[in-house]
Amino acid sequence: MRLSLGGVRPGVFSLLVAGGLALSVSASGLAAEPPGPTVIGGQKVLTLISRDPPALRCNNNMQVAAELANIYKIPVVVVPVTFAKPGTKAPTVWYGKDLIAEDGGPGNGMISFTQVADVLEIEDAPKQDVKGRLLDADVNPRFEALKQQIKTVP
């Protein structure tokens, strides 16, 4: 995994852990927009608000983001809830300015690969020139086993 503040490089999972970013809030106190950029290099950003430390749903969202970044050239921003505006729910996921999932709301804060990949296909998101290794036959079974192990930890 490589930390990147710039654009997305082919074959690299871009991760920006943001701190101290302003968060727009509606009158009801719910986040109206994600913290940080909604577009990087002309591409919508997948923004994940994660518990600190991350729990099951947050880990799931990060795993989904890693799988998506193995196929699509999408910037991914992960913001620990402790760095978001007070009252921000975690987990929450945005794609650009569109809310996809929120704790207690849509998806109860959890996304699936298919759900987001369908949106990326509809919006014709650019694809990686070469798919990442998470989907390789020699890596994927171990990755799937790791995901199952994480889900069984109390």
Q: What is the pLDDT along the chain (154 residues), one digit of tens a residue?
A: 333 333 333 333 333 333 333 333 333 345 568 998 999 999 999 999 999 899 899 999 999 999 999 999 999 999 999 998 888 899 999 999 999 999 999 999 999 999 999 999 999 999 999 988 888 888 888 988 988 888 787 6
pLDDT of residue 31: 54
> What's the 3-state SS for 70-128?
CCECCCEEEEEHHHCCCCCCCCEEEECCEEEEECCCHHHHCCCHHHHHHHHHHCCCCEC
pLDDT of residue 65: 97
DSSP reduced 3-state for 129: coil
The answer to whether the CB of 128 falls within 8 A of the CB of 14 is: no
Give the up-direction half-sphere exposure of residue 10: CA atoms within 13 A in the CB hemisphere. 6
pLDDT of residue 39: 96
pLDDT of residue 17: 38
Q: Which residues pair with 15 in a beta bridge?
A: 3, 76
CATH number listed for the domain at residues 11-18+28-152: 3.40.30
Closest CA to 97 of 31, 5, 29, 17: 31
How many DSSP H helices and E strands does the chain contain?
3, 8
Closest CA to 36 of 76, 70, 72, 90: 76
pLDDT of residue 75: 97
What are the sequence ranges of the domains in the chain? Answer: 11-18+28-152
